[in-house]
Structure 1
Amino acid sequence: MKLALFDDHRLGVVDETGETPLVVDVTDALGWEHDPDPVTAGWWRRLCRDFAGARGRLAEAAARGTGRPLAEVRLRAPALNPSKIVACACNYADHVAEMHEVQERTLGGVESWMMNFDVFLKSPSSLSGPAEDIVLPTEVVEAGQEIHHESELVIVVGTGGSDIPRERALEHVLGYTLGLDITVRSAADRSRRKSYDTFSPLGPFLTTADEVGDAGGLGIRLDVNGGERQRVNTADLLTPVPDIVSYASHMMTLLPGDLIFTGAPPGVGAIVPGDRVRASIDGVGTLDLAVRRG
């Protein structure tokens, strides 16, 4: 099942079987009150936690409902006010290798501690959706600092938990989406230079784990202005999805609706105002975003 948030944060089920992709509004089938305020968003976190019980109602409503063309709605990021965005660093070997050159160029030397796998936090306010531009901060642009794209598979946490064993980790995954981890290359802390508004574009949908299947075999591609920058498969993740979930949960309790960016593939590069970034993940979806100056 593909779930979308659209217009006034309505819940939709996406139907891509016909020539024209459709979204069917299933908000009234939730079984609990829908609060459209994205700041409170308790209905969304409850859906992430209790999706197994609500799925049948949503599927029935989708089968009965009348779809609207996706082109006629405003798609939102398929996440509302997560308690945290967890992000993985150094999770593709070729990306670790390329970061030596990137750091030499942008920092004047290699920070060895940054070449090891770990997780860090991004601000939830950095989330943006498929209909929004990537906005580059004026002060960063004027300072001449590079701002890079990173296309990533994103895990959407379902039931959540702490100290989750690896062998049960996928039981805590509701599904997956596509995210861009936009990054200022500077000496600042990761969380600071990756948390500007619009620096976590997400979408276009949340695809449930059963529909995605093996998350360890998905192709990822990113183009800028029609030229390929990144092409990789999640089979190359140094720390695969179950291990990521388990590792993160041993540091912090994962709550329903939390997001985990699984790491940047090789091929990161600068984006500038006027660029067009198009990223896609097999079976998950595509983001096509303009870049502008703030």
Structure 2
Amino acid sequence: MKLCLFDDHRIGAVRDGGVVDLTAALPWPHDPDPETAGGWRRLCRDHAELADRLAEAVAAGPVVPLDAVRLRAPALNPSKIIAAASNYAEHVHEMHAVQERTLGKVEEWMMSFDVFLKAPSSLAGPGEPIVLPAEILAAGHEVHHESELVVVLGRGGRDIPVDRALEHVVGYSIGLDITVRSPGDRSRRKSYDTFSPLGPWLTTADEAGPPDEFEIELLVNGEQRQRVSTADLLVPVPEIVAYASRVMTLRPGDLIFTGAPPGVGPIRPGDELVAGISGLGELRTSVTAGGEPR
């Protein structure tokens, strides 16, 4: 099932080129306030128990065309966005040249796999532009795209065994980890507002299939910049989930960006980006320049 958030954060399913509103089929009232997460995290946690009820509602409900609704990021106020660093060998190799150009040196500690945090406020939905801060543009820093498979946590947990990790995943989505190439902490450079585009929906794990069989592609202005298989992840999805859970307690609705493929490169105001993952759809967005701070 392809679950989505739309309009005033109503919960729906994508079917036949449109959206079926599932909000009334859920066993709790609709809460449009994104700060209180509108029941989304509860849906992530309890999806297995609600699956039959939702399937019946999808089959019976009217379909509203996609162009008649506003799709939102398929996440509401997650407790955290976790991101994996240095998780494709070719990307690690290319980052030596990127860092020499943008930093004047190679930060060797950044070439090994690890996880870090991005601000939940950096989330942006389908079609919502990536806004490049004026001060970053004025300083001449490059801002790069990183198209990634995103894991959406269902059941939370801590110290999750690798062989049980996928039981804690409700589904997958498409994400862009937008990154300022400058000195400083990763979390700060990747946490500006709109620097975590996500969407267009969440495809549940049962429909999406194994997480090591996805093909990721990114087009910028129609030109292919990135293409990779998740089979090439250095640390596969179950191990990422297990490792992160040894560091921090995972909560329902948390997001894990699984790592940047090779082919990262600069984005500029006016660019059009299309990130696609096989079976998950396409995330379309654009780039614009931000105004001066007020």
User: Normalising by the residue count of structure 1, what TM-score does the alignment of the two structures yield?
Assistant: 0.98
Aligned to 2:33: 37
Distance across 1 between alignment mates of 2:127 and 2:63: 19
**In structure 2, which of residues 125, 128, 135 is the aligned counterpart of residue 129 of structure 1?**
125
* Residue in structure 1 matched with residue 187 of structure 2 by the alignment: 191
Of 262, 265, 268, 2:261 maps to: 265
The amino acid of 1:241's aligned partner reads: V
When the two chains are superposed, the root-mean-square deviation of aligned CA atoms in Å is 0.7
C-alpha displacement of 1:41: 1.0
The reply on whether 1:49 has 2:57 as its aligned counterpart is: no
Establish whether residue 14 from structure 1 lines up as the match of residue 14 from structure 2: yes
Q: 2:143 aligns with which of 132, 140, 147?
A: 147
- Aligned residue for 1:62? 58
Look up the SS of the partner of 1:78 in the other structure: coil
* Distance in structure 2 (CA, Å) of the matches to 1:278 and 1:46: 30
Contact 1:31 1:54 in 2 (8 A): no
1:3 aligns with 2:3: yes
Structure 2 Cα separation of the partners of residues 158 and 288 of structure 1: 25
Instruction: Output the CA distance in 1 between the equivalents of 2:13 and 2:226.
Output: 30
Residue type of the alignment partner of 1:151: S
Q: Could you say which residue in structure 1 is the equivalent of 2:248?
A: 252
**Preserved contact between residue 152 and residue 181 of structure 1 (Cα < 8 Å):** yes
The 5 A counterparts of 1:67-146 are 67-146=63-142
Equivalent positions of 1:201-240 (< 5 A) are 201-240=197-236
CA distance in 2, matches of 1:209, 1:66: 24
Give the drift of 1:217: 1.1
1:162 aligns with 2:173: no
Detail structure 1 runs of 4+ shifted over 3 Å in the superposition: none
The answer to whether the Cα contact below 8 Å between 1:162 and 1:252 also exists between their aligned partners in 2 is yes
> Residue 246 of structure 1 aligns to a residue in which SS?
helix
Residue identity in the other structure for 1:8: D
1:33 positional shift? 2.0
Q: 1:122 is matched by which residue type in structure 2?
A: K
Q: Which amino acid aligns with 2:170?
A: L
Deviation at 1:42, TM superposition (A): 5.1
Q: Which moved more, 1:60-69 or 1:80-89?
A: 60-69
Write the deviation string for residues 43-93 of structure 1: whole angstroms up to 9, x where unpaired. Answer: 111111111111111111111110011111100000000000000000000
**Cα distance in 1 between the residues matched to 2:166 and 2:232:** 18
Give identity over the alignment, percent: 70
Counterpart residue identity of residue 155, structure 2: T
TM-superposed CA distance for 1:131, in Å, is 2.5
Which ranges of structure 2 fall in alignment gaps of 5 or more residues? none
Output the CA distance in 1 between the equivalents of 2:117 and 2:136: 21
Q: Which moved more, 1:43-52 or 1:152-161?
A: 43-52
Aligned pairs for 1:268-283 (under 5 A) are 268-283=264-279
- SS of aligned partner of 2:78: coil
* Letter aligned with residue 15 of structure 1: R
CA distance in 1, matches of 2:267, 2:250: 32
Letter in 2 for 1:129: G
Where 1:130 maps in the other structure, the secondary structure is coil
| TM-score between both structures, scaled by the size of structure 2 | 0.98
User: 2: CA distance between counterparts of 1:24 and 1:46?
Assistant: 19
Select which of 27, 35, 46 maps to 2:23. Answer: 27
Aligned residues: 290
Letter in 1 for 2:225: R
C-alpha contact 1:74 1:131 (8 A) present in aligned 2: no
Compute the displacement of 1:107 (Å).
0.4
**What amino acid sits opposite 1:147 in the alignment?**
V
The alpha carbon displacement at 1:252 in A equals 0.2
Q: Equivalents in 2 of 1:131, 1:181: separation in Å?
A: 15
Cα distance in 1 between the residues matched to 2:125 and 2:95: 28
Q: Which of 164, 172, 177 does residue 173 from structure 2 map onto? A: 177
